Each structure stands twice: as structure tokens, then as C-alpha cells.
Amino acid sequence: MKIKITKTDQSKISDIDFEKLEFGRVFSDHMLEMVYQDGSWSEPEIKPYGPISFEPSLHALHYGQSVFEGMKAYYVDDKQINLFRLDDHYERLNNSARRLSMPDMDKEAFIRGLEELVKLDHEWVPKKHGHALYVRPFMFASEQYIAAKAAKKYRFYVITSPVAAYYNEGFNPVKLTTSENFVRAVPGGTGEAKAAGNYGGSFLPAKKAQENGYTQVLWLDAIEHKYVEEVGTMNIFFLIGDTLVTPKLGGTVLPGITRRSVLALAKEWGVKVEERRVSIDEVFETHKTGELKEIFGAGTAAVIAPVGLIHHNGNTITLDQEKIGPFAKKMFDTITGIQYGKLEDKHGWTHPVQVGSEVSV
């Protein structure tokens, strides 16, 4: 596969303070672009990061045909960068696209394009443990067309961003609250897809939660408003006694890649795992009886985020407000150890990218 590469005339990297990174604010020198029309994708092209032009009639602006992925590239050493669970992200991107009546992305183009983009911008991958190069593939309807049906033209891009911790709390426990008036997803909807509109619709309740001192919303089901589903930006786990419990998938919960990794590792360690319905009442009751040992979230951006507080209908439960629990810490250390090449990858999760020159950041 031929990949056209046009390098930037002037890198921005010398202007970046890698010790003061804010998640999603700084972008690397280059981006990947592909165009879909007449039933097929163009060959990948890597070009300098910059504005893209479109008309006011852009289909995606009017009807929301837009999906994305979130993944990371990790510094291993001066000759290797690791991408994590690349095949799984590719599959999920296509599943999201199909739900929104968008075309599948070609696998070779996806993988080769990402490899070449990371190679070209490898100096943007932070060396500091806990930091990474966030990789954002996204696809949107690019037809100039304002009829309410699926478009025939699409664009696909990959942009990258050096990042530190996702939450302002860093690695300290986050505070969650349920929402009385809003829901995230309904059966038969788009909850299991990484559709842009899913997140746009969550911003108002998240803003209200933050105004009241909470980090994010803990979403409950839309029908009975009693079963836990996920947090706004990650899947949720409960260590109840000696059992790791997480809400089951079923169309309203995002099938997280980190979620999948947590479940696989827990089973490997001999921990009993249950994917099932978890009521908010059960969470509060097991906390009252002392059975609830830890709560943590899992997602690409945060990796593992300890939960120190949950508020629901005027009632609050608190766990350790100062530090992560031992099980979540072990999970974080293991996953990041694999990602950064410090631990053996027994599962074949990492996708190494060999870079030709020293990583100088």
C-alpha cells in the first residue's frame, strides 16, 4: 500500500512544555487523511496538521454522522513505541460506523497509516511514565448534502496529542453522582457506539455535576433508572467481597477496550468476575455491610481511575479519599506495565512500532 507523506516545513515541538501537558490541547505536527467516495477509500495520506475546509452544508454538521476512536501510543525506548490493542480499536471503529450507516475502514490502511504517522511524529511521544501520545481516529460524513439520509461521501482522519492524566484529580480518587433528569442511552440506541452525539448529549449533565463538586456522572439505565451502566468517560467496576463486578454489555454500555483488559487480567489472577446488572441500591447496601472494597473506572484516557465517592438521590457513600485501592493499583500497574513494555505481554495486546531515530523529547 502506497502512503503519500508530506512533511511539515516547521515543527511545533520546540514550543511545547512536556512537563505541563493538558489533555487534548496540544497536537502533533502531522495528521492522516483518507476520503471515501464511489464505494471505496482513497490511499492514506499523511500531511501537516492544520485546518480542513468544508461548506455550511456539510452533512455531518446537520445529521451527526460522526464516529471516533481513542487510543494511545507509549514510549518504550528510543527505538520502539507501543500501540495498545490496535486490532480491537479497529474493530470497534467499524462497529460504530456500521451503527451509523457509515462505511467500514480498510484494516491495512488503518494499521499502516497509524504506524507511519507514529513513526513520523515519534518525537511527540512523551517519555514520562503516565504520559502518552493520545491517538484520535475519526470519521464523518463529508457530503455537501442536507437531506435526512446517510451520506455517500466520508472523510477519515487521525490526529495525535501528547497528554498527561485525563482527570484534574490526576491519580487521586474521583467523585461521581447519578443524574435524576438525564439518561445516556436506551436499548436499541447508539450507546454501544463511539458516536460523537453520545458525548455531546452528556455535556450538560456533566457540567451540572461539576458545578456541584463532582468529577463526572455515573449513568443509570434509562428504563428503571436503578441499574448502573457506566461513567461519562469510562466503564465502572466494583470489588464486592472477592468478586469483581461490572455492568454487562447489551447495547447501552460502551464495550471498552480497557474494560476488556481488566476482565482478562482479573480472570488470569483467579479473581471471580461477574458481568451482570448492578443496581445503585446494591452498591449502597454492600458499602453499608462492608462488602464493597473498591470502586474504579477503566478507559483509554484514564486507564484506571479510583472512585472515592458516589452521590445518589441525596445519599453519599465514600471510600478512600486519599489513594487508589490495592486491587485497582495492581490493575493499573499491570496494564501500564504492558503498555510501556516494562512487563511481558502474554496476551499479544501491544503493537510495536519501530522508529528509525532517537526519541528526543
Q: How confident is the model at residue 170 (pLDDT cuts 50, 70, 90)?
A: low
Q: Is the pLDDT of residue 169 over 70?
A: no
3-state DSSP of 147-192: CCCCCCCEEEEEEEEEECCCCCCCCCCEEEECCCCCCCCCCCCCCC
Residue 201 sits in a domain whose CATH number is 3.20.10.10
- The answer to whether position 331 is within a domain reads no
Q: Check pLDDT > 90 for residue 360.
A: no
Same domain, 156 and 76: yes
pLDDT grade, residue 165 (50/70/90)?
Answer: confident
Model confidence pLDDT, tens digit, residues 1-60: 889 999 999 999 999 999 999 899 999 999 999 999 999 999 999 999 999 999 999 999
Residue-level pLDDT at 359:
40
Q: Report whether 231 contacts 237 (CB < 8 A).
A: no
Specify whether 160 is located in the same domain as 13. yes
Task: Give the mean pLDDT of 122-133.
Answer: 95
Q: Which three cell numbers stand for residue 199?
A: 458525548
Q: Kindly state whether residue 361 falls inside one of the protein's structural domains.
A: no
* Domain presence at residue 335: no
Q: Is residue 198 part of a domain?
A: yes
Q: Is residue 332 part of a domain?
A: no
63 and 100, same domain (yes or no): yes
One domain, residues 190 and 290: yes
Residues 178, 158, single domain; the answer is no
Mean pLDDT over 256-283 rounds to 98
**Does the pLDDT of residue 335 top 60, yes or no?**
yes
pLDDT surpasses 50 at 204: yes
Predicted confidence at residue 167, as pLDDT, reads 67
Q: State whether 216 and 231 are in the same domain.
A: yes
Interval 135-160 mean pLDDT:
97
Indicate which CATH number applies to the domain containing 115. 3.30.470.10
Q: Is the pLDDT at 172 greater than 90, yes or no?
A: no
331 pLDDT exceeds 80?
yes
What's the mean pLDDT when you consider all of the chain?
95
358 pLDDT more than 80: no
Helical axes 257-268 vs 86-99, angle rounded to 10°:
130
Average pLDDT of the residues in 238-258: 97
Answer yes or no: do 157 and 186 share one domain.
Answer: no
Is 208 in the same domain as 158? no
Q: Is residue 329 part of a domain?
A: no
What pLDDT band is residue 322 in, cutting at 50, 70 and 90?
confident
Where in the sequence is the domain holding 155, given as residue range(s)? 4-168+343-354
Task: Average the pLDDT over 182-208 and give the result.
Answer: 96
Residues 184 and 140 in one domain: no
HEC per residue, the chain: CCCEECCCCCCCHHHCCCCCCCCCCCCCCEEEEEEEECCEECCCEEEECCCCCCCCCEHHHHHCCEEECCEEEEEEECCEEEEECHHHHHHHHHHHHHHCCCCCCCHHHHHHHHHHHHHHCHHHCCCCCCCEEEEEEEEEECCECCCCCCCCCEEEEEEEEEECCCCCCCCCCEEEECCCCCCCCCCCCCCCCCEHHHHHCCHHHHHHHHHCCCCEEEEECCCCCCEEEEECCEEEEEEECCEEEEECCCCCCCCCHHHHHHHHHHHHCCCEEEEECCEHHHHHHHHHHCCEEEEEEEECCCEEEEEEEEEECCEEEECCCCCCCHHHHHHHHHHHHHHCCCCCCCCCCEEEEECCCCCCC
Give the pLDDT confidence of 68-94 residue by residue, as tens digits. Answer: 999 999 999 999 999 999 999 999 999
Residue 207: inside a domain? yes
Average pLDDT over residues 252-256: 96
Total of domains in the chain = 2
Q: Are residues 31 and 160 in the same domain?
A: yes
On whether both 280 and 195 belong to a single domain, the answer is: yes
Q: Note whether 35 and 124 are same-domain residues.
A: yes
Predicted pLDDT at 357: 53
Please state the pTM of the whole predicted model: 0.94
218 found inside a domain = yes
Residue 33, CA atoms < 13 Å, CB-side half-sphere: 17
